[in-house]
């Protein structure tokens, strides 16, 4: 646990030091669970968004993208079920006065059990070496089997009590598991209560005429209410999808873990409209497709897993999370939900407008079913950033901090250095920048020894460093250094664009989705 905490602290301080993420309004001591993306963070975030958008909208002929408003008619949230059911179960500790999400307390307890399993696996892997068969070990080692059973039983019980809104049983579970307040160690808990997560606001100039509004807690509803507009104007045929990225707001009870859980965050969602009865097939299909997208970025297959839901949200008939190994353990990164016709049917009822699809071939009208994929852009940022931050032992015994961002996502693709600040080298470096800047984000750096400049760019995540030296004056060649291998090549200036393009081009990366 302590190592996890240290790793996570390192991620947070690195994000600040290298201009990725700042605490919001820091000069006023910040605002809890609100963050700003800094100069490099804004670029990384934009690149992740674009990588998602291209995979969804550009590569799928039957998926289109929209950009709906954050404010929506208040009845939207009545119809979607958010007014009545978008609650989290909260519990207070009477001694520390700290507030927690009851389900998260239980899930954290289960995560500790899972950590024990991982420890046993690591121990056994060390003991048995090459002969170690993890699957067999997990199935036959009695201690591990017992841990696994404990974890499953607890999660099943939690899922059942939450689905039945049996909050008394959730409290009982917390007591039976002997869960203590992480701050104070006290086990003196209040009852579990429901808490609505939507932020309210007002539209209108005078108090009398003002209309109560909510800041949207998810982007999906902007897609549902536009379903027919898009279908008709785009002449879309089922199955088809509507994609959107944008801000969402939730008054989270426990907003910690940096940008993992924020009160203002960004979602990337896609609603896929399908014929009723085909939802199982499309649900499996999108699970596979989304996992391929993740794997194409090369963060390591071992860092992802599916978690199928026991407890289903009010709108879903099947749901699964793609979980990622964050510095604090496996947690939800993306949700894939089979939402049935819940949303469209409910909007039909509340608006009095027909939201049906007419199938010209079968001559029938129906309310489509929906399978959605929903990923938090900020969580994806944290997944990429934390996974990429590495401390490496070098052959000479020193260490280097390197941010091995997938080069397609890196904010700056190349830094250009003159070896020294004279003899015309800075001018050539500037010329190279002038040429490359039309295609890539590039940076000029002439301060300090080249070794230190390399280290600085390694830590900032820049995949290439280009150095202009005296040989350049003679033969128009430079050295290009690769961040991950630290390998240096002597290449012609005119070949730089091609080399960088080959490494960072989105097309090449996205094509990996077909093979992974």
Q: Closest CB to ligand ATP among 201 and 477?
A: 201
Instruction: Collect contacts of 355-358 with beta carbons under 8 A, ≥24 apart.
Output: 355/227, 355/228, 357/231, 357/238, 357/273
Minimum CB–partner distance for residue 335 and ligand ATP (Å): 4
- Tell me the binding residues for ATP: 250-252, 260-265, 332-333, 376-379
Report CA-CA distances (Å) from 192 to 166, 186, 203, 427: 9, 16, 33, 67
Q: Closest CB to ligand ATP among 312 and 459?
A: 312
Minimum CB–partner distance for residue 382 and ligand ATP (Å): 9
Minimum CB–partner distance for residue 215 and ligand ATP (Å): 13
Minimum CB–partner distance for residue 53 and ligand ATP (Å): 16
Q: Closest CB to ligand ATP among 218 and 343?
A: 218
Phi first, then psi: give them for residue 62, nearest 5 degrees.
Answer: -100, 20
Minimum CB–partner distance for residue 33 and ligand ATP (Å): 8
- Tell me the binding residues: 101, 218, 250-252, 260-269, 332-333, 372-379
- Tell me the binding residues for substrate: 101, 218, 265-269, 372-376
Q: Closest CB to ligand ATP among 82 and 404?
A: 82
Q: Closest CB to ligand ATP among 227 and 381?
A: 381
Residue 295 and residue 152: Cα distance in Å, rounded?
A: 27
Residue 203 and residue 47: Cα distance in Å, rounded?
A: 34
67 φ/ψ sector (left φ>0, alpha ψ -120 to 50, else beta): beta
Residue ranges in contact with ligand ATP by CB under 6 A: 218, 250, 252, 261-262, 265, 267, 332-335, 374-376, 378-379
Minimum CB–partner distance for residue 499 and ligand ATP (Å): 35
Beta strands 304-308 and 464-468: pairing type?
A: unpaired
End-to-end CA distance of the chain, in Å? 33
Q: What is the DSSP letter of 93?
A: B
Q: How many other β-carbons are positioned within 10 Å of the β-carbon of residue 73?
A: 14
Nearest-10 Cα torsion for 228, 233, 238, 240:
-100
CB contact set of 252 (below 8 Å; sequence gap of 6+): 33, 88, 197, 261, 262, 263
CA atoms within 13 A on the CB side of 486: 14
Q: Closest CB to ligand ATP among 252 and 423?
A: 252
């Amino acid at each position: 646990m302590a190592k996890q905490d240290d790793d996570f602290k390192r991620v947070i301080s690195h994000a600040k030091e290298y201009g990725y993420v700042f605490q919001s309004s820091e000069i006023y001591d910040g605002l809890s669970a609100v963050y700003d993306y800094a100069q490099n963070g804004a670029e990384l975030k934009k690149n992740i968004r674009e990588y998602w958008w291209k995979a969804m909208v550009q590569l799928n002929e039957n998926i289109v993208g929209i950009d709906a408003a954050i404010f929506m008619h208040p009845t939207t949230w009545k119809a979607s079920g958010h007014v009545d059911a978008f609650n989290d179960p909260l519990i207070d500790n009477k001694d520390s006065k700290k507030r927690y999400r009851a389900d998260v307390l239980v899930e954290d307890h289960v995560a500790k059990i899972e950590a024990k399993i991982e420890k046993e696996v690591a121990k056994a892997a060390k003991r048995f070496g090459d002969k170690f068969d993890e699957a067999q070990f997990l199935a036959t080692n009695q201690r591990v089997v017992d841990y696994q059973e404990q974890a499953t039983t607890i999660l099943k019980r939690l899922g059942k009590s939450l689905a039945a809104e049996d909050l008394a049983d959730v409290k009982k579970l917390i007591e039976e598991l002997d869960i203590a307040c992480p701050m104070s160690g006290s086990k003196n808990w209040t009852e579990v209560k429901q808490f609505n997560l939507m932020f309210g606001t007002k539209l209108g100039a005078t108090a009398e005429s003002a209309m109560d509004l909510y800041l949207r807690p998810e982007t999906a509803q902007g897609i549902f209410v536009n379903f027919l507009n898009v279908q008709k104007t785009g002449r879309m045929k089922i199955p088809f999808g509507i994609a959107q990225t944008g801000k969402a707001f939730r008054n989270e009870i426990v907003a910690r873990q940096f940008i993992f859980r924020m009160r203002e965050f960004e979602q990337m969602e896609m609603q896929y409209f399908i014929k009723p009865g085909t939802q199982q097939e499309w649900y499996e299909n999108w699970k596979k497709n989304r996992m391929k997208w993740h794997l194409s970025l090369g963060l390591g297959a071992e860092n992802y897993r599916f978690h199928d839901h026991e407890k289903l949200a009010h709108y879903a008939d099947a749901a699964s999370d793609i979980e990622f190994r964050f510095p604090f353990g496996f947690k939800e990164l993306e949700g894939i939900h089979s939402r049935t016709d819940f949303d469209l049917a409910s909007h039909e009822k509340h608006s009095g407008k027909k939201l049906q699809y007419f199938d010209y071939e079968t001559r029938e009208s129906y309310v489509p079913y929906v399978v959605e994929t929903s990923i938090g852009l900020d969580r994806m940022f944290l997944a990429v950033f934390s996974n990429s931050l590495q401390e490496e032992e070098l052959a000479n015994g020193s260490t280097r901090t390197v941010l091995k961002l997938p080069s397609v996502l890196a904010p700056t693709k190349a830094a250009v250095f003159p070896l020294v600040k004279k003899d015309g080298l800075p001018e050539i470096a500037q010329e190279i920048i002038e040429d490359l800047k039309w295609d890539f984000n590039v940076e000029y750096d002439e301060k300090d020894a080249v070794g230190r400049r390399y280290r600085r760019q390694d830590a900032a995540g820049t995949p290439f460093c280009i150095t202009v030296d005296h040989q350049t004056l003679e033969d128009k060649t430079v050295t290009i250094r690769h961040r991950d291998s630290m390998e240096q090549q002597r290449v012609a200036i005119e070949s730089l664009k091609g080399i960088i393009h080959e490494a960072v081009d989105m097309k090449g990366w996205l094509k990996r989705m077909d093979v992974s």
